[in-house]
Amino acid sequence: MSGGADDAPDPAPPRPVRTFRVDLEYDGEGFCGWQRQAADRTVQATLEEALSRLVGAPVAVVGAGRTDAGVHALGTVASFSAATTLDAATIARALDATLPQDVGVRGVEERPGFHALRDARWKWYRYTWLRSPTRRVHERRTAWRVAVPLDVAAMRAAAGELRGRHDFAAFQSSGSPRRSTVRTLVGVRLLEDGARLALDLVGDGFLYGMVRAIAGTLSEVGRGARRADAMAALLASRDRRLAGPAAPAHGLALVAVGYAGDEPPTFVDPSLAAGLESGRSDRERAPADAEA
């Protein structure tokens, strides 16, 4: 005789919870930044919705940093954990097929214990100007057009004063106080490519609005409205009111995030980069820095 309680099949064993690293890029124009918000469209929420549909359960995504509204990412990293039997390659293909056109997946890898924010050693941001007296349609979403000439040599000299470990409070936007405003910029350079001018900054972390404030201040130097040798005094002031206005968000992009074992860009100062591999400077930061 069958049908009794003792004949019921054993429940399926629970699926193991696995952790994945996701490398991605996005066009920030259509997003109100990375971080999930109640009503606005964000990169984090978009990725979480796609992953939740894929694995059939809610998924929380951790990002390597929080970019502001309109800021792009050429290369950033996220992590998530989920009880799923899907392999990394299947997840990557499914995300590529379901994510909107302004978010792209560059790779997915199973990484036990990986945390995209806590494990990050360095970040590379780029701010781009377009030096042009007239509009350039195909550059309008990725570069800040300036119609007046810029003194690049003066800007380069001023930017060089920011290299090293400093208190960057003068370049922090209000509304996001940090436990510490000290950061280390291990790589600083200005590159010219035709009409485009790019500021590259590599550091152990960035304050909210820091890169855009630096770019806005360097723009004043380039126009002759601020002395190139005034950066040291500005840093010492710790007064955001004394720095330049924030440069527009659409000229900023997160280029890359580095982790243990990753080689930093070639323009990084080796003597300053010694602490990046160990993550020593990370312990001085709040666990969830808002950036850019």
CATH code, 72 = 3.30.70.580
| Residues 124-147, mean pLDDT to the nearest whole number | 91
- pLDDT tier at 289 (50, 70, 90 boundaries)? low
Asked which of 57, 83, 110 is the last residue of a domain, the reply is 110
229-263 pLDDT, tens digit each: 999 999 999 999 999 999 999 999 999 999 998 99
Clarify whether residues 172 and 141 are in a common domain. yes
Same domain (yes/no): 105, 131: no
Both 235 and 132 in one domain: the answer is yes
Listing DSSP states for 64-112 in one string gives S-BPPTT-EEEEEEEEEEEE----HHHHHHHHHHHS-TTEEEEEEEE-T
Residue 2 lies in a domain: no
Q: Is residue 175 located within the same domain as residue 56?
A: no
Do 232 and 129 have their domain in common?
A: yes
pLDDT of residue 285: 45
d(CA 113, CA 104): 24
pLDDT at 31: 96
Q: Which residues pair with 21 in a beta bridge?
A: 79, 109
Q: What are phi and psi of 152, to 5 degrees?
A: -65, -35
Does residue 134 sit in the same domain as residue 247? yes
Average pLDDT over residues 120-133: 95
Please check whether residues 153 and 249 belong to one and the same domain. Answer: yes
Classify residue 43: in a domain, yes or no. Answer: yes
Asked if residue 283 is part of any domain, the answer here is no
Do 131 and 228 have their domain in common?
Answer: yes
Count the domains in the chain. Answer: 2
Is the pLDDT at 6 greater than 70, yes or no?
no
- List, by residue number, the catalytic residues: 68
Instruction: Find out whether 281 and 184 touch, Cβ atoms under 8 Å.
Output: yes
- Is the domain of 83 the same as that of 163? no
Token pair in block for residue 192: 């010219």
Higher-confidence residue of 277 and 199: namely: 199
The DSSP secondary structure of the chain, one letter per residue, reads ---SGGGSPPPPPPPPEEEEEEEEEE-GGGSS-SS--SSS--HHHHHHHHHHHHHTS---EEES-BPPTT-EEEEEEEEEEEE----HHHHHHHHHHHS-TTEEEEEEEE-TT--TTTT--EEEEEEEEEE-SS--GGGTTTSEEE-S---HHHHHHHHHTT-EEEE-GGGPPTT---S--EEEEEEEEEEEETTEEEEEEEES---TTHHHHHHHHHHHHHHTSS-GGGHHHHHHHT-GGGSPPPPPGGGEEEEEEE-TTPPPPTTS-HHHHTTTTTTGGGGGS-TT-B--
Q: How far apart are CA 25 and CA 223, in angstroms?
A: 33
Is residue 9 situated within a structural domain? Answer: no
What is the residue-averaged pLDDT of the chain?
90
Residue 175 has pLDDT above 90, yes or no: no
Confidence of residue 33 (pLDDT cuts 50, 70, 90): very high
CA angle (216 as vertex; 225, 40 as ends), nearest 5: 150
- Does residue 25 sit within a domain? yes
* Full domain range(s) for residue 178: 122-260+267-274
Task: Give the per-residue pLDDT at 279.
Answer: 57
At which of 64, 83, 110 does a domain end? 110
Query: Which pLDDT value is given to residue 282?
Result: 44
Q: Please check whether residue 117 lies inside any domain of the structure.
A: no
| pLDDT at res. 286 | 42
What percentage of the chain has pLDDT greater than the value 70? Answer: 89
Higher pLDDT, 284 or 16: 16
Using the 3D structure, point to which of 52, 78, 110 is the last residue of a domain: 110
Q: What is the largest CA-CA distance in the chain?
A: 94
Quote the pLDDT of residue 1.
46
Q: Has residue 88 been placed in a domain?
A: yes
Q: Do 240 and 135 share a structural domain?
A: yes
> Residue 254 is part of a domain; what is its CATH number?
3.30.70.660
Residue at 292 is within a domain? no
Both tokens of 236, joined, read 């010492």
pLDDT value at residue 136: 86
Task: Clarify whether residues 150 and 224 are in a common domain.
Answer: yes
* Model confidence pLDDT, tens digit, residues 199-233: 999 999 999 999 999 999 999 999 999 999 999 99
Can you give the pLDDT at residue 11? 62
Residues 250 and 143 grouped into a single domain: yes
Closest of 31, 33, 60 to residue 48, by C-alpha: 60
pTM higher than 0.85, yes or no? yes
288 pLDDT above the threshold of 70: no
Model confidence at 179, pLDDT cuts 50, 70, 90, reads confident
The pLDDT, as a whole number, for residue 276 is 76
Q: Between β-strands 61-63 and 72-83, what pairing exists: parallel, antiparallel or unpaired? A: antiparallel
Q: Is the pLDDT assigned to residue 284 strictly greater than 50?
A: no
Q: How far apart are CA 72 and CA 278, in angstroms?
A: 28
Question: What mean pLDDT do residues 22-37 have?
Answer: 95
Sorting pLDDT into bands at 50, 70 and 90, what band is 9?
A: low
Task: Report which of 7, 108, 96 is spatially closest to residue 50, judged by C-alpha positions.
Answer: 96
**Which residues on adjacent β-strands are paired with residue 201?**
125, 188
Q: Identify the pLDDT of residue 247.
A: 97
